[in-house]
Amino acid sequence: MDPEELGLPEPEEPVDEVTPEELRDRIDSGEEVTVLDARMESEYDEWRIEGDKVKSVNVPYFEFLDDEIDDEVLGRIPDDRQLTAVCAKGGASEYVAGALQERGYDIEHLDEGMGGWASIYDAVEVERYGGDGTLLQYQRPSSGCLGYMVVDGDEAAVIDPLRAFADRYVEDAHDRGAELVYAIDTHVHADHVSGVRVLDDKGVEGVIPEAAVARGVTYADELTTVKDGDVLTVGSVEIEAVQTPGHTSGMTSYLVDDAFLATGDGLFVESVARPDLEEGDEGAPDAARQLHESLQERVLTVGDDVLVGGAHYSDAATPADDGTYTATVGELVESMDALSMERKEFVETVLADMPPRPANYEEIIAVNLGQQEADDEEAFELELGPNNCAASQDALAD
């Protein structure tokens, strides 16, 4: 967005831009990055660019509107390093960067702002996957959303697709010589708008858990529903539905070729699901008890060597050597106290320190149920921010 569209003057001298992908690469490589976030404090507190070597300072853009910027404001901004100015869409940060550049600061601004940051979506091959075909993990750094694509021969399936990237899945399958035949959801998501219906409209067979229909899904008759034990075939790969309620009543994991379990929001590499997004605080204890049963009887019993991948990761997660957020069942049991707890202790621990609920989660659920409409721009705006679908990592991990 141009600064003039916000009623702000253009910088007198051109300001260097950094693309979201370039900034991501710097952060991933361990480079020290200092972000000057020019959004409002409430937006900054809700979500921001983070990383092990990312330093961040929040100074809203309106602090820079006067010709003479207050010395107190300038005193909050480091002047001994390169800065990257960030705002919502790129206009205000360009103005702020220009104002500081005139005062001798070494500064650039993030092209397209946090909207551009939210558009990063990487596909990383899961190298330890031991089944037939190829397994990819999709990663969205801005929110920690994860999805999966399995490709075997001339067929492919995507699990937990995001609406914002629907065309990307079709293209990625095509680039690997395959047709996308299935778009599969693990449950009714609360943190992002599902891409299953959009992909179904494009000729891909949309699949949702039969157990999720009871929540009020309005479009179930238009899609394929699967129940526990049902199997979908992609090339020679079998994808088995494994009902694992707890995070939601309809939560369903998918066992891919007996080698990889896509656990949705039931189990992550650093934590387990939060149980309060469907029935609220009142229903959370029962859901937590159900989650414990699912983990002990349905997830941990698939075999210690089976890889697990959830639908999210947080800053507390450590990627595997291949860069994916996956771990074997055995590794998770060893690293996560929650997976060895008796039911009572598990429930008490999960409920003890619940993080804030995902941003706009009630509206997102309504859209994913088909009870509320949202165009592409509205859907993208709804899901900006952290996912917060896990219980507290501090309480559950070693």
Name every residue whose Cβ is closer than 8 Å to that of residue 383 and which is 6 or more positions away in sequence: 118, 143, 162, 164, 191, 192, 193, 359, 360, 364
- Residue 5 and residue 91: Cα distance in Å, rounded? 8
Q: What CATH number is associated with residue 306?
A: 3.60.15.10
Indicate if 56 and 132 belong to the same structural domain.
no
Indicate if 87 and 133 belong to the same structural domain.
no
Indicate if 14 and 48 belong to the same structural domain.
yes
Indicate if 159 and 100 belong to the same structural domain.
no
Indicate if 22 and 140 belong to the same structural domain.
no
Nearest residue to 266 via CA among 275, 278, 279:
275
Indicate if 220 and 158 belong to the same structural domain.
yes
Q: What CATH number is associated with residue 16?
A: 3.40.250.10
Q: Are 204 and 181 in contact (CB under 8 A)?
A: yes
Task: Specify the pLDDT at position 387.
Answer: 67
Confidence of residue 188 (pLDDT cuts 50, 70, 90): very high
Indicate if 109 and 129 belong to the same structural domain.
no
Nearest residue to 193 via CA among 201, 185, 202, 182:
185
Name every residue whose Cβ is closer than 8 Å to that of residue 306 and which is 6 or more positions away in sequence: 255, 258, 259, 260, 261, 328, 329
Indicate if 147 and 92 belong to the same structural domain.
no
Q: 248-279, pLDDT tens digit by residue?
A: 999 999 999 999 999 999 999 999 988 988 88
DSSP 354: P
Name every residue whose Cβ is closer than 8 Å to that of residue 166 and which is 6 or more positions away in sequence: 195, 198, 199, 202
Which sign, positive or negative, has the C-alpha torsion 257, 262, 266, 270?
positive
Nearest residue to 141 via CA among 306, 270, 25, 272:
25
Is residue 395 packed enough to be buried (19+ CB in 10 Å), middle (13-18) or exposed (0-12)? middle
pLDDT(68) > 90 = no
Indicate if 336 and 218 belong to the same structural domain.
yes
Range(s) of the domain holding residue 104 = 3-117
Average pLDDT, the chain: 92
Show the beta-strand stretches assigned E in 173-306: 179-184, 205-209, 224-226, 231-234, 237-243, 252-256, 260-264
Indicate if 171 and 291 belong to the same structural domain.
yes
Which one-letter amino acid corresponds to residue 33? V
Q: Are 217 and 223 in contact (CB under 8 A)?
A: no
Nearest residue to 349 via CA among 244, 233, 250, 271:
271
Indicate if 113 and 149 belong to the same structural domain.
no
Among residues 63, 83, 117, which one ends one of the domains?
117
DSSP H helices in the chain: 20-28, 41-46, 71-75, 91-101, 113-117, 166-175, 196-201, 280-294, 329-335, 343-352, 361-369, 376-382, 393-396
Indicate if 111 and 154 belong to the same structural domain.
no
Beta bridge partners of 264: 310
Among residues 79, 98, 117, which one ends one of the domains?
117
Among residues 85, 100, 117, which one ends one of the domains?
117
Q: What is the mean pLDDT of residues 84-96?
A: 93
DSSP 272: B
Is beta strand 134-140 parallel, antiparallel or unpaired with respect to 145-152?
antiparallel
* Model pTM score: 0.90
- Residue 161 and residue 208: Cα distance in Å, rounded? 12
Q: 144-176, pLDDT tens digit by residue?
A: 999 999 999 999 999 999 999 999 999 999 999
CB atoms within 10 A of CB 321: 7
Q: 329-356, pLDDT tens digit by residue?
A: 999 999 999 999 999 999 999 998 787 7
Total of domains in the chain: 2
State percent of the chain over pLDDT 70. Answer: 95
